[in-house]
Structure 1
Amino acid sequence: MQKSGGFLGKKNFISGGQFIQHNISNHYYISKGGLENLMSRVATSAFHNSSQRVDPPRCHEHTRKAVLDEIFNWIITETSRTSKILWLNGAAGAGKTAIAQSIAELCIVRSILVASFFFFRADGKRNTIDLLVTTLVYQLVQLVPETKGIIEHAIESNPLIFEQSLDTQLEELLLKPLLRVRLTGHVSTARSKMLLIIDGLDECEDEESQASLLHLIFKVIRNQDCPFIIIIASRAEMHIKMAFNSLKAAEILLRIPLDDNYLADQDIHIFVADKFAEIKQTHPYNYLLDSDWPPPALSLEIVRKASGQFIYASAAMKFISLPRSHPARQLEILHGLRTPDLATPFAQLDMLYRQIFSMVQDLDLVFSILAYSILRKRSTISFIAHFYNIPEVDIRLALVDLSSVINCEKGTIRFLHASLPDFLLDKTRSQQYHLCIRTWSTRLAISWLTNVSVGIFSGTDSLFDFLAQSECTPALRERIISFHPDQLSYMGGTSFFSEYLSVIQKLDFFDDGECYRHQVGVVDRFMRSIHSSQLAALGTGNNISESSVEKDYDKGWQ
């Protein structure tokens, strides 16, 4: 809070037959009754300066300057500002909360009135909208003490107001008191204007509540005399996008997406370089570090893996800088060059990923899509849809719940977090959301062989990727034995079949090589029939003998 004071003492007296206790603050009296009723409904951990938010995320020095400047200019340029709501949106871990925190602290330094509510899914008081208005109202009392009597009277006149709608609470306890002290001249127009910051809207558990809150905010903000401007920070989840779009609020809404326009990679590079310099200067084991540590390639790899999302870089640097560990070894563990000990580098990031995947409705379809994209390193939606023989729209709909970490708007699947595939492929990190390479390679190999058997061509090269990492299951063996080259609509030539048999030979089905020998015979007969057909098609006028074609075939096949 910008304005606060500890309790100095208590004074009791009788007024009108009613016992009243006043707690004496070094700013004003807070009496039992209305305000005490209010304070019992305040989520103190939601303040931007709450002691319960230990070391809250904030922007690293010399980073995020462009977006911070844009937001702060929006706040202070009242005469030219047409929008009253700013929606700061971006991928999970993009740094939205750090930006919101930094803006709140900057406003305090510049004497701009700011109240805030930072949602957080794991906090029972911060994961619903129930305490949002009361928490903002309490901050209003601290910032504009002249509203105290009005708010207290409103509560005491309607003791059940906290059981009424948020619409009523916001109108009676937040909007009217601030407008009234302005109209009565008790405070200046400048002091009756306030910035409200609502961060992490997507952390509120109920999607319907999120949308309802947005509708409520738009209803209030449309009031011409409304003394608030509001910053809302959240992921660009589909239902939140839809709520913003449905409100038709283009004239009062400014959208700021944290995209490539803000050069996040450069900011992350600055952050990583500064943190390494700090480790070399302050770490207890800095004397063990070489003068040219860290290796530039490993430092740049952190920036690359971050993919513009600060959460990865922050988690990585915290892990490297653990005071009881050797920083150089920690960096090697981070990049898989050394076996990790008990500490896990990305515990915070992994928790975020698991929470996101817990919201997915059709996990099997989603994992089918991601498995193909990761194992084949091919992300074209049309190709994946063709492989699974499903409409492209089904791919897009299945990935809606992952919109905070995956983007597929331009016809390709793009991981907003380059570290997400690492998470999925590591069972110790992803746990129940583990994407097992061998299991999925087997499933995809079987699907490929099934596809070609029914006339769906799936690209000859992908089969080798799948077979090379497959488990030797009975189902896969049965599919391989039933495969015949004439099922292919495209003949890849001897090179394809040579590689195919080479891969099959390495699969051990515990059948003493029977599966491999069977396929050698099938392919050999097929190739000889193909070359015989080609010879006949040439015609006798070309003066080419069957024996010469056979020799060429045998030479190439061998």
Structure 2
Amino acid sequence: MSMINNTQSLAIHGGVFTQHNSLAVQSLSQSAFERLQKEVAPGAFHNSGERFDPPKCHPRTRVAVIERIMNWVLWKERTNSLVLWLNGAAGAGKSAIAQKIAELCYEAEILLASFFFSRSDPHRNHPKALFATLSYQIACAIPEARLHLEQEISRDPLIFTRSLEAQMVALIVKPLQSLVDSSYFSDPTSPRLIILDGIDEIMEQRSHSKILQVISDIFHRHRMPFIFLVVSRPEQEITFAFNSQPLSELTDHLRLDNTFHPDDDIRLFINDSFSEIKTGHPRKKSIPPSWPSEEVIDALVHKASGQFIYAATVIRFIESIRHRPMERLDIILGLRPVHRDLPFAELDALYMHILSALDDPERTLLVIGLILVRAQFLGHHLSRIPDIERFLGLEAGDVEFLLADMASLVSWEVDGTQIVQMLHASFGDFLFDHSRSGTFSLERKALHAVMAYQCCRNISCSSDVDTRDKDWLMQYPTYAVRNMAYHLNRSELTPELMSHLTQLSFEQLIEDASEHLSLYPEQGRFTPGSIYDTWLGVIPLADRIRPMMTDDSEFYRLRQRFCDDVIKREFDLFYANQPSLYLLLSLTCVTPYRHLSDFRWTPASVAQLTDWNKADHQKVIDLFRLDIFPHSASFYTDIFPGFLQDVSRAGKYTVTAETFARASLKFLEYLSRSRLGALINLRHTPRNLTSRRNRPWHWRKHMRYLDLGARKGFKFHSRFDFTPTPWLRDVRQSHFPKLYFRLRRQQTYINATYIALKSFPKLLRRSAASDQLIASVTAEKPFSQRALQYPALVKQCKAAMVTYVARVQ
């Protein structure tokens, strides 16, 4: 009310008047703060009601990583980093960790502000409201800054339309500058932490690096005493920004990988969740106590691949109170069809979001498909980026470019081994299921066809590396040669693929390899990864294609030439000077290794028959057992025997009827030896009898080991076979070394005799007339006592001798 009422024609002269406009100031203040509130994204707060059921860490999980971050927040670590970048694969649980850190710091009153981005929220998938939201929280956390903030907004009401740099200066730097100058933040307990979660969720990719540039300016240009916890996937733009100056000097990287043992946390989460389902679900009475099995838990943990989003999605699907948990788990495991609810809808949405941002999805999915369908055998030859680029015929750097936007699902070390690894085991299931991946789906047979074609191309193309280079072997298409048949067996043989197969030629590859081996013969040894070892992949490949081709095709002739070259080179290098080689070659023709057991076929027993030196035992077994060759039936039944019996192919290594006669004579002499080692009675050896008579107490003590051996695994078969278990072999060797080696030698005689008895009749049937052999057969020398332990085999041998004499005379 006016102080002067009902005045008319009143004039006042002189004096001093003071006018107070407090109501106007209050109205202006409210207008500025209300304008700020309208620009805020309330859903970005860590405790916002709009973020219903935000991701949270399960109790007793993520303990190590949370402790590591809190030590950094509380300055308990010796570090100068003002920015901590928490990064990891998609679905690794980064937001849950950020939520937990925000809650802990909010309770401790050291949280200054936070912003949780989300691509599904139109208010949080862009940076326009970022600094308005942060400044609002700063004003709430530090009331002294509110008046300065309101003044800045009143000074420029359109500040919210300015650039991010201008908003940062006006809404954060200037309102807090006076507090910084007054040493407000020198108190260690003052709020200084700002959390930015999910900046990779921003739709516009250019904004990622822009936000990080603004954060860098806060420190370098304005010297603000903040610390930032930035949480995101390791996308290309974000990684580049953090690795660039000057932000890299201020940043500490913390990656959620296997260092923090995520599988243990996921197993704990799954076990606790299933326990809650069994005790709290409305249909808990129908759930057995043993559900689910440990095998199912292991499968779920493996499928999660350290990513919590998979485990959380599975549990959320199973715990639905409107369904039976056991049936829902069967759907997850693929044991029951999906009817209406899609169990992996949340996970699929994440995958679709990442794939939709690809610049070249076709070639990117080709690289991903290669990783998913490559063979396990020698798959490491396609694990590095240069190997993948060479195999697919890409230029150097293409794979890194194609996978740049897949960093949250695929990892590789740029400066290290460059081994490409899938971070999500469930990603392959998504791509191979058309109902889930849609236009991004992959077809297994089509991928294998592409792999088979690439194998053809790599085999036919010569290497750019000079064959005189010692490292030429590094360029050899090992994977293509050994796994081409693997991919052909799993692909559809389309006309296009058959066209490539009919044009396939090993000529250039064989010529390059032969030239290289002439300079470096030691690289041709039959060892895993050697040239000869990889050449033998042609054999299973021929088994796959042979029904479609004629025997006189170029491919068949090249296969024969290749195998002949491999075998003869091996013989020339390692077996040419062995006088008893003919025995092994004869045995190979009549008794393939697969017809005898590992127990019989030992290096010592074969060497016993052939009189090879003990130092050459391994050479004997390598050649005769043929472990160096792939387990292909065609090799044992066609290629190797055919080579040995064709003089045009084997040359001096040809096995003829005269060779069989020499081998038969050698075996007959061995079987007629009068002494092949006396049988051992464990309790009645001369040494034991003397010990029993002179020191009975000592003899009983040692006999206990023999009794223990009989109970634990010493086996004496009807043929006096002796097979100690590994544990007892150690005991026997340490306590009875002489007896142990006598028994080992005894077993060698047994095996050698058995091999000779099995092979002798077959050798005789193919032997030529030989006066020396006829004389030995007709001499009727008695078989050794060792051979007589096998009466049925001895009978077969005698019958074969009668037949041989009748045939040659």
Question: Which range, TM-score by smaller chain?
Answer: 0.7 to 0.9
Which 10-residue stretch deviates more, 314-323 or 480-489?
480-489
Which 10-residue stretch deviates more, 277-286 or 138-147?
138-147
Counterpart amino acid of residue 307 in structure 1: S
| Alignment partners' CA distance in 2, 1:144 and 1:215 | 25
Distance 1:223 1:289, change over 3 A: same
The corresponding residue for 2:678 is: none
The corresponding residue for 1:36 is: 34
8 A Cα contact 2:241 2:247, kept in partner: no
Which aligned pairs between 1:76-475 and structure 2 lie closer than 5 A? Answer: 76-77=74-75, 82-181=80-179, 193-222=191-220, 226-249=224-247, 251-377=249-375, 378=379, 379-381=382-384, 382-409=386-413, 410-455=417-462, 457=477, 459-475=480-496
Would you say how many aligned residue pairs link Structure 1 and Structure 2? 518
| Alignment partners' CA distance in 1, 2:62 and 2:404 | 28
Distance 1:321 1:519, change over 3 A: farther
> What's the offset of the Cα at 1:61?
0.8
| Alignment partners' CA distance in 2, 1:221 and 1:253 | 12
| Alignment partners' CA distance in 2, 1:393 and 1:488 | 26
**Deviations, residues 147-185 of structure 1 (Å, cap 9, x unaligned):** 222211211121222222222222222222233256579
| Alignment partners' CA distance in 2, 1:235 and 1:67 | 16
Distance 1:408 1:182, change over 3 A: closer
**Deviations, residues 8-33 of structure 1 (Å, cap 9, x unaligned):** xxxxxxx96998997xxxxxxx9542
> Identity rate of aligned residues, in percent?
34
Counterpart amino acid of residue 403 in structure 2: L
The corresponding residue for 1:500 is: 541
> What's the offset of the Cα at 1:134?
0.3
| Alignment partners' CA distance in 1, 2:404 and 2:535 | 43
| Alignment partners' CA distance in 1, 2:32 and 2:200 | 31
> What's the offset of the Cα at 1:477?
2.9
> What's the offset of the Cα at 1:468?
1.9
Counterpart amino acid of residue 428 in structure 1: S
| Alignment partners' CA distance in 2, 1:123 and 1:58 | 19
Alignment of 1:480 with 2:501, yes or no, is yes
| Alignment partners' CA distance in 2, 1:380 and 1:529 | 32
| Alignment partners' CA distance in 2, 1:222 and 1:451 | 53
**Deviations, residues 52-86 of structure 1 (Å, cap 9, x unaligned):** 11100011111111111111122223796632221
> What's the offset of the Cα at 1:40?
1.4
> What's the offset of the Cα at 1:437?
0.7
> What's the offset of the Cα at 1:104?
0.8
| Alignment partners' CA distance in 1, 2:264 and 2:88 | 17
Instruction: Specify the SS of the correspondent of 1:419.
Output: helix
Distance 1:517 1:138, change over 3 A: closer
Higher relative contact order (CA 8 A, sep 6+): 1
Instruction: Specify the SS of the correspondent of 1:448.
Output: helix
> What's the offset of the Cα at 1:520?
4.8
8 A Cα contact 2:304 2:426, kept in partner: yes
Counterpart amino acid of residue 36 in structure 1: E
| Alignment partners' CA distance in 2, 1:301 and 1:78 | 39
8 A Cα contact 1:88 1:96, kept in partner: yes
> What's the offset of the Cα at 1:543?
6.6
8 A Cα contact 2:55 2:99, kept in partner: yes
**Deviations, residues 285-310 of structure 1 (Å, cap 9, x unaligned):** 11111111111011111111111111
> What's the offset of the Cα at 1:276?
0.9
> What's the offset of the Cα at 1:496?
5.2
8 A Cα contact 2:192 2:227, kept in partner: yes
| Alignment partners' CA distance in 1, 2:37 and 2:308 | 35
> What's the offset of the Cα at 1:346?
1.4
Q: Which has the larger radius of gyration?
A: 2
Distance 1:487 1:118, change over 3 A: same
Which 10-residue stretch deviates more, 421-430 or 105-114?
105-114
Distance 1:290 1:191, change over 3 A: closer
Distance 1:404 1:287, change over 3 A: same
Distance 1:411 1:112, change over 3 A: closer
8 A Cα contact 1:146 1:187, kept in partner: no
Instruction: Specify the SS of the correspondent of 2:194.
Output: strand
| Alignment partners' CA distance in 2, 1:81 and 1:493 | 52
Distance 1:46 1:547, change over 3 A: farther
8 A Cα contact 1:182 1:189, kept in partner: no
Which 10-residue stretch deviates more, 247-256 or 171-180?
247-256
> What's the offset of the Cα at 1:545?
5.5
| Alignment partners' CA distance in 2, 1:37 and 1:448 | 65
Counterpart amino acid of residue 503 in structure 1: R
Instruction: Specify the SS of the correspondent of 2:84.
Output: strand
| Alignment partners' CA distance in 1, 2:550 and 2:447 | 23
Which aligned pairs between 1:48-59 and structure 2 lie closer than 5 A? Answer: 48-59=46-57
Q: Which runs of 4+ in 1 moved over 6 A?
A: 17-22, 184-188, 490-495, 546-549
| Alignment partners' CA distance in 2, 1:154 and 1:212 | 23
> What's the offset of the Cα at 1:202?
1.2
> What's the offset of the Cα at 1:398?
2.0
| Alignment partners' CA distance in 1, 2:317 and 2:425 | 18
| Higher strand content, 1 or 2 | 1
Distance 1:261 1:544, change over 3 A: closer
Distance 1:183 1:543, change over 3 A: closer
Instruction: Specify the SS of the correspondent of 1:459.
Output: helix
**Deviations, residues 432-484 of structure 1 (Å, cap 9, x unaligned):** 11111122222222333344344474523322222222224221232333345
| Alignment partners' CA distance in 2, 1:182 and 1:393 | 47
8 A Cα contact 1:85 1:229, kept in partner: yes
Q: TM-score w.r.t. structure 1 length?
A: 0.84
| Alignment partners' CA distance in 2, 1:497 and 1:119 | 55
Q: TM-score w.r.t. structure 2 length?
A: 0.59
**Deviations, residues 82-141 of structure 1 (Å, cap 9, x unaligned):** 322211111111111111111111112222233111111222221111110001111122
